[in-house]
Structure 1
Amino acid sequence: MHWSQYYTPVAHSVGWSALLAVVPILYFFWALAIKRMKGHTAAVTTVILAIIDSVVIFRFPLGKSISSTIYGMFTGLWPIGWIVVAAVFLYKITEKTGYFDIIRQSISSLTEDRRIQALLIAFSFGAFLEGAAGFGAPVAIAGAMLVGLGFEPIYAAGICLIADTAPVAFGAIGIPITAMATSTHSNAMFISQMVGRQLPVMSLILPFWLVVVMSGWKGLRDVFPAALTAGLSFAVTQYLISNFVGPELPDILASLVSLIAVVILLRFWQPKHIFRFPGEQESSRSQMAASLEPGLAGNKPNLTGGKVFRAWSPFLVLTVVIIIWTLDPVKKLLAHATITFNWPDLDKAILKVAPIAAKPTALTASFKFDILGATGTAILIAAFITMFICRQSFRGWLATLGRTLYELRYPMLTIACVVGFGQLMNYSGMSATMAMALAATGVLFPFFAPLLGWIGVFLTGSDTSSNLLFGSLQQLTAQQLHLSPYLTMGANSSGGVMGKMISPQSIAVGTSATGLVGQEGNLYRFTIKHSLWFLLIVCIITTLQAYVFPGMIPS
């Protein structure tokens, strides 16, 4: 039996109905930002409230409400959660075996200039960590590294938070993009292309911005070649990979290219004036190395090219394996191990009707369990190869996997509930109702689309969560306004990452990693103006793409 979505259940008014539809989202914001609930607690209670709202107000049958929520939760765990687990697992292997320390040394020993260290560690290496692991790793690790090198804690945390913007949309092997595509039943490649035609502008600007924040416009002149090399190499690679390969590797490859380009530059060029923070004493390169964690500086003389290559090998293997997984012949071969089934009491049981659809259209709900073809499986294979590269025992490998699963139990619950909430909003028609209300902004909506993503990341701390929450809303609103949904969905992700630096979760990670616990307010004041400027730039880019350069929108 079919159930038709009902978009104006309250007094036949789109405005009042949308106001009640947004209640679970407002509650989620309140629970995180004001009540400061833990993410998984806020997500679970939001799902419960959304189920009640959908049944009581939008007359969604209880069975279908629960079914759509569970469907979304399974979708959140596979393939999204599987990617998260595998990516963090790979990173933890390198950390556990000590090879990550060699990676850190290989970057931090290249120059004494604080500005170039920030470009190498906060921008390029931070982007690599975002691409490989995400979920706070860039700020925590890069921030601690900068403090170890002698950075003032407020600059170490603030610079890392600002730098961790452009790569976030493709973080953790492209999870924000693939999650949005999965939840909205959209083409992940088109979303990747759209974001890849917005963020490279920020990637080019960001190194210059970081240097100006640290040393002013005068200081930028000293290291202009390094900023240009870092930004241009990253932006070009990010554009090419996101547009012609997919959302999984832009950060990994762009960061590697950026790192290598700057390292090569430093072989032939060094700034005339070494920048240090006021009051900081002159230090030799050996003293700089000694400021690292105990035990690392002593190993520096043995930091041979072979050791550096071996340390970076796991991530090179990861890159190769993922590229192989994207090849069409490989995809077809691995597809034989895929199990697909229609979700009970949901698939083609719900109808979209006017004005959301020109004619009644049944919504599909199928679950694909691609055990071999999933990106997470590719990462796990890379992690298995890494066991041999890092000379870890199989018992140690399994123990690391077990600890990773244990540590990610609450993030996995959060992801599952957020996706479940998103699917419930979609199938119940609540997202469609909000889309109809937002469509009233008319031609201004492309300008405000990034703002919605910015708010989502500010409150959830995750571009993935923001995309899951608002991806469908952006899609439906664009359709109401006869705009490309890929423009607004891309804007949600691109605008969202500009809120990463001021999200409470990111601020907490930054202060914890740099010894600034209790000074969260200072860090907010350090980052807020940069977040707003970056958001404005993305809003302008999106508007221009909508009305001036529509050829930039994939179709």
Structure 2
Amino acid sequence: MIHAAYTPSTTAVGSSLALTALLGLLPLVVFFVLLGVFKVKTHVCAIISLAAALAAAILAFGMPVDLALLSATQGAAFGLFPIVYIVIMAVWLYNLTEKTGRSEDVRRVFAAVGKGDMRVQALLIGFCFCGLMEGLAGFGAPVAISCAMLLALGVPAIKAALVTMVGNALNVCFGAMAIPVTTAAKLGNSSADAVGATQGRITPLFLCWIPVLLLGILDGKRGMKQAWPAALAAGVTMGLGHILAANFLSYELTAVFASLLSFASVTLLLRAWRPRTPEEQLSETSSEKLSGSRVALGLLPYWLVVVIFAVAKLWTAGIDVPKALESTDVTFGWPGLDGQLVDAKGQAVKATQFTFSWLSSPGTMLLLTGLIVALVYGKSSSGGKYPFSFGKGMTTLWKTVVDLKLAILTIAVVMALAYVMNLSGQTVAIGTWLAAAGGAFAFLSPILGWVGTAVTGSATSAGALFANLQSTAGAKAGISTQLLLAANEIGGGIGKIVSPQNLAIAATAIKEPGSESTLLRKAAPYSIAFIALLGMIVVLASSGTLGFLITN
């Protein structure tokens, strides 16, 4: 039997806001304690926490059983499409270069461009290329790949990991075609374009100087003194790329566009300038000369995805491509749930509407890119050096799905958890309670995202867990919703620096398993300093002092 007109209450437990909020926190506490203290696998933590959220929704908040379960199914569906769809296609696109062996040519391109200086190459790989991979794939792949590339060039293991983790942090919020932005905006009832644009105005405040910090990690004051022009070019253009893409092009392409722009700027600089390179900072490079076709084919997935996204998002000459693609979206009320949840005014909530964006989804654009890349690689083996076929490309796609099976399960369950907490009123209660902090919540906002990603390893999960809370607290405290959602995701990216999953990936990539504690000890000060600075920026933005950072 479907029960009608369920209205969430912020005082469902003992007629007390505090008690209701504390009980609403239970699923999150269960999740974080199981993962952070007892080291339970993420997907198991998510399943147990979902069960806790369902129990709280039904037994404490009075949500009918059928509506609670239907909320979970809608969340899982959103997790599978579009989130998992985009993740699979993004990782597959990278895997095509690995499977064909053309990733070696990509490495040689970076080595050649860097003029043999490991510090400059580390900027190109740990900052520019890692940012590009974050924009395309995310979910740990960029750190693993970049760490391995830096190690192969001769960068000391621990430094390779630190440079990659710190250098990648500010692109995480735009990772995997900006899935964190899409997720946070959807669950926070805000515009994804506005959240992405706000993020794109805040991140440059960090990006412009982070490459100089990376030189310090690599080679101390000497490195900063000898290679600062490259660091300045990389950082300033990366920040400019974030502003341009997030505000004027497409927020999904922010990390991809900005990383390519940053790489191009350093490449142009090195045509006219070359750092003084100490002997111990010379990299181990291949003497093989690459032809123009091998360079173009090696980089094919990266420049092609930019072209396809640009057409899909921006082309309006003759035919309005974005509008045409969006016209194919199918929106419908979630069966059995839509119309059954109402707010305090008796109005049906809109969160039970589901949009199936099959052609306009970034996943479809990535799928098209992957199909073209597989076809081209199957037709051109570069003189027999890289034999491949379209069939092998499809096999790679299937293997990508299989390899990501636990990630797929985790994403679906975490989204189910988020929807149950949101639609039952648990996050509303928490947000209302936290809003009592007033203006101080602006400083706490990015810390929530930092904690969420530090524990879960995913800025997307942090958005799923806290977006509605941020939105609710912001409305109560009179703080811009898009600012808080942006702060949540940027803070999430900073939290990834110290995430146990990220540390484990980096330690494995540098071939030093067991070095996680060393990496944590060295990386934590950067993460803590970044999040404190972000908190102050959000406070100043919310007060109007830096109001230009907020997009309406």
TM-score when normalising by structure 1: 0.93
Aligned residue for 1:32? 35
Cα distance per residue 1:318-365 (max 9 Å; x no partner) = 111112221362233234543322112322321222xxxxx4432121
Give the Cα–Cα distance (whole angstroms) in 2 for the partners of residues 136 and 518 of structure 1: 18
Deviation at 1:472, TM superposition (A): 0.8
Deviates more, 1:377-386 or 1:216-225: 216-225
1:453 aligns with 2:449: yes
- Report the AA paired with residue 146 of structure 2: A
Measured in 2, the distance between the counterparts of 1:525 and 1:239 equals 33
| Counterpart among 293, 311, 323 of residue 310 in structure 2 | 323
Within the candidate set 247, 255, 260, 1:243 is matched to 247
Given that 1:127 and 1:167 are in contact with CA atoms closer than 8 Å, whether structure 2 keeps it comes out as yes
Give 1:19-168 correspondences, 5 Å limit. 19-109=22-112, 110-168=114-172
RMSD of the alignment, in Å?
Answer: 1.5
TM-fit CA distance, 1:114: 2.5
After superposition, the C-alpha distances for 1:458-503 in whole angstroms (9 at most, x for unaligned) are 0011111101110111011000112211111111011111111100
- Aligned length in residues: 533
Partners of 2:329 and 2:358 within 8 A in 1: yes
SS at match of 2:299: helix
Counterpart selection for 1:272 from 253, 273, 276: 276
Kindly state the Cα deviation for residue 553 of structure 1 after the two structures are TM-superposed: 1.4
Of 376, 381, 402 in structure 1, the residue corresponding to residue 368 of structure 2 is 381
Identity %: 34
Tell me the CA shift for residue 275 of structure 1.
Answer: 6.8
For 1:343, the equivalent position in structure 2 comes to 334
Equivalent-residue separation in structure 1 for 2:359 and 2:132 (angstroms): 25
Gap regions ≥5 residues in structure 1: 278-282, 290-296, 354-358
Structure 1 counterpart of 2:534, one-letter code: V
In structure 1, the partner of 2:349 is 363
C-alpha offsets along residues 361-384 of structure 1, whole Å, 9 cap, x if unaligned? 321212222222211011100101
Q: Which is further off, 325-334 or 474-483? A: 325-334
Distance (whole Å) between structure 1 residues aligned to residue 157 and residue 124 of structure 2:
17
1:491 maps onto 2:487 in alignment = yes
Aligned match of 1:294: none
**Residues in 2 aligned to 1:549 and 1:244: alpha-carbon distance in whole angstroms:** 20
Q: What amino acid is the match of 2:349?
A: L
**Partner amino acid for 1:479?**
A
What amino acid is the match of 2:490?
Answer: S
2:86/2:362 contact within 8 Å kept: yes
Note the residue ranges of structure 2 that are not aligned, 5 or more in a row: 379-387
2:524 maps to amino acid? I
Aligned residues of 1:131 and 1:167 also touching (Cα < 8 A): yes
Residue 355 of structure 2 aligns to a residue in which SS?
strand
CA distance in 1, matches of 2:279, 2:458: 34
C-alpha separation in 1, matches of 2:482 and 2:327: 30
CA distance in 2, matches of 1:67, 1:445: 32
Q: What SS does the corresponding residue of 1:367 show, helix, strand or coil?
A: strand
Contact 1:178/1:247 (8 A) holds in 2: no
Which of 287, 291, 300 lines up with 1:304 in the alignment? 291
State the shift of 1:112 in Å: 2.8
Which segment is superposed worse, 208-217 or 379-388?
Answer: 208-217
C-alpha contact (below 8 Å) 1:161/1:501 kept by paired residues: yes
Match of 2:381?
A: none
Deviates more, 1:337-346 or 1:378-387: 337-346
- Distance (whole Å) between structure 2 residues aligned to residue 535 and residue 302 of structure 1: 44
**Mapped partners of 1:530, 1:243: distance in 2:** 28
- Structure 1 partner of 2:422: 426
Stretch moving more, 392-401 or 444-453: 392-401
Q: If the length of structure 2 is used for normalisation, what is the TM-score?
A: 0.94
**Residue identity matched to 1:463:** A
Which stretch of the first structure deviates more once superposed, 373-382 or 104-113? Answer: 104-113
**Please, which of 11, 16, 19 is the counterpart of residue 16 of structure 1?**
19
Q: Is the 8 A contact 2:31 2:46 kept in 1?
A: yes
